[in-house]
Structure 1
Amino acid sequence: MAICNLPLEIRQDIFERVITSPITPTTPSESQHGRHDYTKNAFDGGGIWQLPPQNPALCLLLVNKQFSSEVKDVVKRLPDNYHVDIMFLKHHGLWTTWTLPKKPTTQYIDTVTATIRMFDPTDDLDPRFAKSLNFRGGDGGPETAVWAFHNLLVFLVEKGPGYLGYLKDCCYIVKRIEINIVAPTDGATHKSIVCTDQEKPRWLQRRRAVFNDDTIPPEKRLADYMVDNLRIVLRPDRQLKRYNEALYENVIEAIVFRVNGEEFKIFDMEKMMDAYDIHHWGTFNEYAEQQKENLRKWKKWVLARRARVKQGLELEEHFSDLY
């Protein structure tokens, strides 16, 4: 039976399933063409390789006028939920593939779901990807790979699903972020989650045990790594506030980590924001009193802003515009 002969309700259910099905590249080799790096600066997004966001509805819109009209009706009624597939490719970056059944029509996003899959690099990859994700560590600071993971979240609230671009007056408001790290399917053993089995760099032995403990499934080790770093970033601290304020301001309910679909860790952003308080401002900090007052104003502003979000009101101001 031709699809056009099916009842309208069934056709629309089929269209919705097609339109909202996540686009998942099979291998890095298959999806390497057309990817671009967000910046060349590791501290501002280096290591994130993006495919242009793809719209699964496009092919259906081009079939005929009847299909086009029905598909547009389905798209109009879709909730503001989005999916991104992220291939974590050792040394070669975080490769994002967004599924955008529709562009956001407001600054409010319901749920963004990320599926993270681990891969060993293969010999047929373009050399431009090499060494774009570095876990070696820096002088007195974390490895630059930390910033790539961090910017996956920051770019989401700043530029929206698909990283399409900045809003004129405000960031995107995301109710919930779900991150599911799944077991590798590329056939590699993944004894280390940051190096291939053929590599045995000396620095790796000095790094975190989470990288190399092959008694723990690789997907759980990656989840541990991501959760540990996000826990540090979200900590109330005068030196960390500039890294965590965008997440506290714009992620309303929670950031949830799952391993193979099973709940692993929940960051309850509402409770954490309520409890946000910095107790140590530095022994010789002559600006401590002013910084305390700025924190008080910022927290009051964020809590009032969250109340406006719950009412579905438009948000236009940035904190820096007011103080």
Structure 2
Amino acid sequence: MDINIKITSAQLRKYAQYQILDHFLGRKRAYSMTLKNRRKFYVQLESSLKEQGPGEIIPVERRTNLSLEEFQREYVDGMKPVILEGAAKEWNCVKEWSLDYFKKLHGEDVIVMADQLKMENPYEVMTLADLIDGIHKGTGKYYRFYPLLDKHPEHILDFDYKWLRERRNRGTLFEAFQVFMGGDNTITPIHNANQCNLFTQVYGEKKWMLYHPKHTPIVDPNPVRNVYRDGPAKTESGPFDPFNPDFSGPYKLFQYIDGYSVHLKPGDVLWNPPFYWHSVKNVGNSIGVGYRWLPPAYCFKSSKLYTFLDAFATNPPIWKAYKLYKQDINLIHMAEHGQLDDYIQKRKKS
């Protein structure tokens, strides 16, 4: 079953003009220049969405023993998410990994812990052991983007690397493995990114909610200068939460759009195409691994607007951003907030 795309090409083109102005002029200045037209745009958008009726959340398809050809034809070419059920159940990462496994092996690793729900000073430097102890104690911390293979390349043997590489697009510029560790009910708010992602659920369980890139005018993200976009916090409670949806006020348009729900168990692999808006919630203590890659032509097909902005409107510049990305994507966020140089100096002194 497929979701319905309820936003027209003409509406997307109109919205793209506002996003380009936001990125190059700043949202405050761009809003002052276009406020009347934007209000008119959203009044008309709400009217057209209402005519199409309430949105529906449907489960992402679960497929077993899906051939490579079927995966590429039905899901990669169609830019449609799918769960490859149990595809990784025999991999060493699924059989052996746990939080205590990482504490024993790599507890001394110094990590940059980012709290994406904090507006000010969201970064904290700690050891992996301290993080894991905190997860066990219920501190609510969620460590995203742990660059495991850059620190400890021997763990490539814990994956079926050939299987993963076979499912990449042609014309790929880079690849990265990123580990996610968190406790029960920890979440990542709604966001998107410009990479393809085969996400392996290694330990515990995880829920996702996904929205098609063409529903971006509903999310209406703030302009950013990196490759990772957050849904904006338009109320005191934070960004729109698909797991506990409140359709009042600035989030009312979400009630009209379709989305996908996902529930991953150990050994499941989720295909998440580029620029899909998604939010993630851990069910119990959880470890997952994103295998990501960047195919520019494919990304351009998914979102011409954001591929253009990622190429020409990033800070740090895209060449530097991906150098940092290979080390730790949290460094990109620190650079955007002007905190990277201070962090580097502290590391040198230590």
Q: Same fold (TM over 0.5)?
A: no
Higher strand share: 2
TM-score band w.r.t. shorter chain: under 0.3
Higher relative contact order (CA 8 A, sep 6+): 2
**TM-score under structure 1 normalisation?**
0.24
Name the larger-Rg structure. Answer: 1
